[in-house]
Amino acid sequence: MSTAITTDLDVAVGDAAAHLYVWALKDIPQDLRDALARAAETETSVTGQRVLQTILRNVNVAEDEKNLVCQDTGIAVYYCKVGEHFPLHPARIYAALKEGTERATIEHPLRSNTVH
């Protein structure tokens, strides 16, 4: 069985994977930003304050530049629950998720973090 992306449903799953990948790495909720700011204000360690302030700056720079927040995005993991009669075979779901994630990493590359 071919795992090529060929149907509208395959494409929809791939598009969802691409969207979720980018959303998870770009959209930092306001409550998290607020919590980081509070933690930076109440942190007693100078090093801890600097780390938290750097994280907040990083979030703001990434947002301003429409870039991913994290340099190391880790490994994308998708948990899928589908019904017994879902029309896509698990191999095609996997292929669609993989294609969407690959597309997202090409369209939204990581920021350069090496100085030459």
Q: Is the pLDDT of residue 110 over 90?
A: no
Percent of the chain whose predicted confidence (pLDDT) is above 90: 57
Give me Rg for the CA atoms of the chain.
Answer: 19
pTM passes above 0.85: no
Q: Are residues 40 and 18 in the same domain?
A: no
Domain membership flag for residue 56 = yes
- Give yes or no for a contact between 112 and 73, defined as CB atoms under 8 angstroms apart: no
Q: Are residues 43 and 62 in the same domain?
A: yes
Domain membership flag for residue 8 = yes
Domain membership flag for residue 59 = yes
| pLDDT reported for residue 115 | 46
- Domain holding 49, by residue range, is 29-68
Q: Is the pLDDT of residue 40 over 90?
A: yes
Structure tokens at 40: 């930076």
Domain membership flag for residue 115 = no
Q: Are residues 51 and 21 in the same domain?
A: no
Distance, CA of 72 to chain centre: 10
Nearest to 99 by CA among 30, 10, 39: 10
Domain count, the chain: 2
Residue 84, CA distances (Å) to 50, 88, 89, 90 in order? 51, 10, 10, 11
What per-residue string of b and e applies to 66-78 under the rule 16 or more CB within 10 Å gives b?
Answer: ebbbbeeeeebee
- Give yes or no for a contact between 68 and 25, defined as CB atoms under 8 angstroms apart: yes
Q: Are residues 57 and 80 in the same domain?
A: no
